[in-house]
C-alpha cells in the first residue's frame, strides 16, 4: 500500500452515532402506515444513496411504501436527540482528526446525507469545519454503492486514488470504495462486513485502530 495522503470518511455510523435512526425510522414509521418492515431489511439500506434506498424499499414493500416519510421521521429522531445531547461522536473521532492534522494528511467527509441536513447539523457541532472537503449525496449523480462520491473527493483534494484511504461502516460504502479502487477499512457499526469483502478490506473496532493502521503504512 502506498503512503496515505488523504482519508475519506463516511459520516453516519463512522464519525457520528446516528446510523440507528435510519433503521428505526423505517421500522417504526412503517407501522404507522400498516407496513411490517423488518429490522433486517431496514439494515440493508444503511449507507445507500437516497434513490437506491428508495428502490430497495419499493422492491420489498411495494410502490406506495412511504419513503419520504421515513426520511422525515429519521430527521426528526436525529434532531430530537441533537437538541437533548448534541451531536454524539463515535469513539476516536476527535483523536483521528487531531492525528491527521498533525501529520498534514488531508481529510474529507463523503456522505449520502444531503447538504440541507448537514447545514442543520452545523448548528450543533463544529465537526464539519475540521475537514478539508465535504461531499454530500446531492453533489454526485450516482451515490453509493457507486464510487462517484469518493472519486469526487479524491479529485477535489488533488490526491490520487492509490494514496487515499476510505473509512466506512456500511457494506454499500465498502462496495463503493472498492469499485473506485480505493484502499479501504471498515469499522462495523450496526452491520457486519459482507463475506464478499472480507479479503479486500481491513476491519477495525474503532477509529483509534485506524490511527495505528495509518502509522504502520506511513511509518
**How buried is 79 (Cβ within 10 angstroms: 0-12 exposed, 13-18 middle, 19+ buried)?**
middle
Question: Exposure string (b/e) for 81-113, b if CB count within 10 Å is 16 or more?
Answer: bbeeeebeebebbeebbebbeeeebbbbbbbbb
Q: How far apart are CA 159 and CA 118, in angstroms?
A: 24
**How far apart are alpha carbons 198 and 22 in whole angstroms?**
25
Q: Does residue 55 have a pLDDT over 90?
A: yes
pLDDT for 190 equals 87
Domain coordinates of the chain in residue numbers?
A: 6-17+89-218, 20-85
Superfamily, domain 6-17+89-218: HAD superfamily/HAD-like (3.40.50.1000)
For 32-60, what is the mean pLDDT? 93
**pLDDT at 47 > cutoff 90:** no
Q: What is the pLDDT of residues 59-73, one digit of tens each?
A: 999 999 999 999 999
Query: Residue 191's pLDDT band (boundaries 50, 70, 90)?
Result: confident
Mean pLDDT over residues 85-91, rounded? 93
Q: Is 13 left (phi over 0), alpha (psi -120 to 50) or beta?
A: left
Distance CA 2, CA 164 (A): 9
User: What pLDDT is recorded for position 161?
Assistant: 98
List pLDDT tens digits, range 166-176.
999 999 999 99
Q: Report the mean per-residue pLDDT for the chain.
A: 95
Q: Kindly indicate the confidence band of residue 158, based on its pLDDT and cuts at 50, 70 and 90.
A: very high
Q: Is the pLDDT of residue 48 over 90?
A: no
Under 8 Å between Cβ of 74 and 21:
yes
Q: For residue range 110-157, what is the model confidence (pLDDT) as tens digits?
A: 999 999 989 989 999 999 999 999 999 999 999 999 999 999 999 999
Q: pTM value?
A: 0.89
Task: Using the predicted structure, report yes or no on whether residue 19 has a pLDDT greater than 90.
Answer: no
Amino acid at each position: 500500500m502506498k503512503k496515505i495522503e488523504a482519508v475519506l470518511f463516511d459520516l453516519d455510523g463512522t464519525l457520528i452515532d446516528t446510523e440507528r435512526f435510519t433503521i428505526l425510522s423505517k421500522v417504526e414509521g412503517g407501522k404507522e402506515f400498516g407496513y411490517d418492515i423488518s429490522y433486517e431489511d431496514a439494515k440493508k439500506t444503511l449507507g445507500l444513496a437516497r434513490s437506491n434506498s428508495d428502490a430497495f424499499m419499493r422492491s420489498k414493500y411495494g410502490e406506495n411504501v412511504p419513503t419520504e416519510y421515513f426520511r422525515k421521521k429519521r430527521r426528526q429522531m436525529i434532531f430530537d436527540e441533537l437538541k437533548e445531547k448534541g451531536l454524539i461522536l463515535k469513539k476516536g473521532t476527535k483523536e483521528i482528526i487531531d492525528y491527521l492534522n498533525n501529520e498534514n494528511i488531508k481529510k474529507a467527509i463523503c456522505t449520502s446525507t444531503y447538504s440541507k441536513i448537514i447545514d442543520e447539523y452545523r448548528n450543533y457541532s463544529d465537526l464539519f469545519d475540521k475537514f478539508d472537503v465535504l461531499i454530500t449525496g446531492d453533489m454526485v449523480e450516482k451515490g453509493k454503492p457507486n464510487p462517484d462520491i469518493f472519486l469526487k473527493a479524491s479529485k477535489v483534494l488533488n490526491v490520487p486514488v492509490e494514496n487515499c484511504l476510505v473509512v466506512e461502516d456500511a457494506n454499500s460504502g465498502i462496495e463503493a470504495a472498492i469499485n473506485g479502487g480505493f484502499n479501504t477499512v471498515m469499522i462495523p457499526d450496526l452491520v457486519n462486513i459482507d463475506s464478499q469483502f472480507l479479503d479486500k478490506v481491513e476491519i477495525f473496532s474503532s477509529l483509534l485502530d485506524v490511527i495505528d493502521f495509518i502509522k504502520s503504512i506511513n511509518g
